[in-house]
Amino acid sequence: MASERPPGEDGGDDGPPAVSLDGVTRRYGETTAVSDLSLSVREGEFFTLVGPSGCGKTTTLRLIAGFEEPTAGTVRFGGESVAGVPPEDRDVGVVFQNYALFPHMAVGENVAYGLRFTDPPGGGSAEERVADLLDLVDLGGMADRDPDTLSGGQQQRVAMARALAPGPDVLLLDEPMSALDAKLRERLRVQVREIQQELGITTVYVTHDQEEALAVSDRVAVLNDGRAEQVAPPRTVYRRPATEFVATFVGDNNVFTGDVTAVRTDDGRRLADVAVGDATFTVALDADADAASVTVRDRLTVCVRPERLAVDAGRNELTADVTSAEFLGETTRVHLDWVGREILLRAEDPPEGTVTVGFDPGDAHVVDGH
């Protein structure tokens, strides 16, 4: 039986999926790396798997590529099962974390390697295909260079050109920029996205970097312990996390759990008063919170992003002590102590000493606390 859609998944366009996983599980002895995972990647989509180390994202990519076979469940391409189909027959291009370039081959020979087994798409020659791809990744004129003379960013682009050479239906990228410095990563992730959009190729991207996932993706699957906690567009994942794990893993967040003491409607909004310690916060109940079912004495978990807290403003107030501040350039991350609980605030001008901060009911988002 197929598993249910992960919490918070945005259904979106119901077009035919390029790649789908239906109740896929992968075990290694007593260890379960992927557990009853169902995902659907649309044609031409940039789909990212993000999560902490050991969450199953690379195993999921290997299951799609055919390097691993599911213990249970089905992987499909275009609606057809690929069970037993070897990687070389799945029409996928793969870029590995270490690029895996052949050191004894020049750049052009590396790119042309996949064309030894298939004709170039479009009917041109292998030489033309290599030249076109090197131009696409801004490495024109470097076909005769040795890979070890290239920078890390250039090697990454050679690996991408090699993966694209046979014209695969699906491009799989396994943390291809993890070894690069932060500034180069930012520059290259933009280029990877531009190449993907220009070619319109279905892409599955693996990263542990939340910022990277939000920046490049059409949709993001947040994985935890081999399961998808949420599948949705980046803005939805950030602004309306489905679970407490997503709320705390993707960016900074303040999470409060308390008991509902009152539920009412005000100006067309359904509101709940939530007792957290000695304080009571009023939060807006949205559709994701299943507002109709929230009643008094329910236990709710709500999150408030640090940038939604304001000094001396907001309906819900709390008084806390500033313990430290981190200057981040455009903003400062301020650490506050509120009755033994850490609260994070983002501010252009960081406060000092004891400060009162607040947030409006609409700035809080109810999540699944389990």
Spatial CA neighbour of 302 closest among 334, 323, 275: 275
Query: How many Cα neighbours within 13 Å face the side chain of 36?
Result: 7
* Residue 342 forms part of a structural domain: yes
Q: What is the pLDDT of residue 292?
A: 63
Q: What is the pLDDT of residue 228?
A: 97
pTM of the model: 0.90
Pair (258, 242) in one structural domain: no
Spatial CA neighbour of 94 closest among 162, 155, 48: 162
* Residue 6 forms part of a structural domain: no
Q: For residue 218, what is the domain's CATH number? A: 3.40.50.300
- Name residues whose C-beta falls within 8 Å of residue 261's C-beta, 6 or more positions apart in sequence: 273, 274, 275, 280, 296
* Residue 9 forms part of a structural domain: no
Q: Which amino acid is residue 176, in one-letter code? A: P
Would you tell me how many other CB atoms lie within 10 Å of the CB of residue 362?
Answer: 13
Q: What is the pLDDT of residue 293?
A: 82
Helix (H) or strand (E) holding 199: helix 182-199
% of residues, the chain, pLDDT over 70: 94
Question: Between vectors from CA 19 to CA 18 and to CA 21, what angle results, nearest 5°?
Answer: 150
* Residue 10 forms part of a structural domain: no
* Rounded alpha-carbon distances, angstroms, from residue 254 to 22, 24, 210, 248, 346: 34, 33, 17, 8, 11
Distance CA 209, CA 230 (A): 16
* Rounded alpha-carbon distances, angstroms, from residue 156 to 93, 174, 204, 302, 333: 14, 11, 16, 41, 33
Q: Which residue has the tokens 């649309």?
A: 42
Pair (241, 363) in one structural domain: no
Tokens found for residue 36: 């009853």
Pair (140, 187) in one structural domain: yes
Q: What is the pLDDT of residue 290?
A: 56
* Residue 2 forms part of a structural domain: no
Pair (279, 238) in one structural domain: no
Distance CA 16, CA 21 (A): 13
Mean of per-residue pLDDT scores for the chain: 90
264 alpha-carbon distance from chain centroid: 36
Q: For residue 317, what is the domain's CATH number? A: 2.40.50.140
Q: Which residue has the tokens 């400060």?
A: 355
Pair (35, 181) in one structural domain: yes
Residue ending a domain, among 249, 277, 298, is 249
193 alpha-carbon distance from chain centroid: 14
Pair (216, 259) in one structural domain: no
Distance CA 321, CA 261 (A): 27
Mean pLDDT per 10-residue interval, the chain, length 370 residues: 46 72 97 97 97 95 97 97 94 88 94 87 89 92 94 90 93 86 84 91 94 95 97 96 95 95 88 94 76 84 96 93 94 96 94 95 85
Total number of domains constituting the chain: 2
Distance CA 318, CA 338 (A): 8
Q: What is the pLDDT of residue 11?
A: 47
Is residue 165 within 8 A of residue 122, CB to CB? The reply is no
Residue ending a domain, among 183, 218, 249, is 249
Q: Which amino acid is residue 77, in one-letter code? A: F
- DSSP per-residue codes, 235-290: HHHHHS-SBHHHHHHSS--EEEEEEEEEEEEETTEEEEEEEETTEEEEEE--GGGT
Distance CA 145, CA 150 (A): 8
Distance CA 276, CA 93 (A): 51
* Residue 181 forms part of a structural domain: yes
Pair (171, 308) in one structural domain: no
Q: Which amino acid is residue 131, in one-letter code? A: A
Phi, psi of 251 (to 5 degrees): 75, 180
* Residue 213 forms part of a structural domain: yes
Pair (29, 104) in one structural domain: yes
Q: Which amino acid is residue 130, in one-letter code? A: V
Pair (60, 22) in one structural domain: yes
- DSSP per-residue codes, 110-176: HHHGGGGSSPPGGG--HHHHHHHHHHHTT-TT-TTS-GGGS-HHHHHHHHHHHHHTT--SEEEEEST
Residue ending a domain, among 202, 233, 249, is 249
Enclosing domain of residue 337: 254-367
* Residue 320 forms part of a structural domain: yes
Helix (H) or strand (E) holding 26: strand 17-28
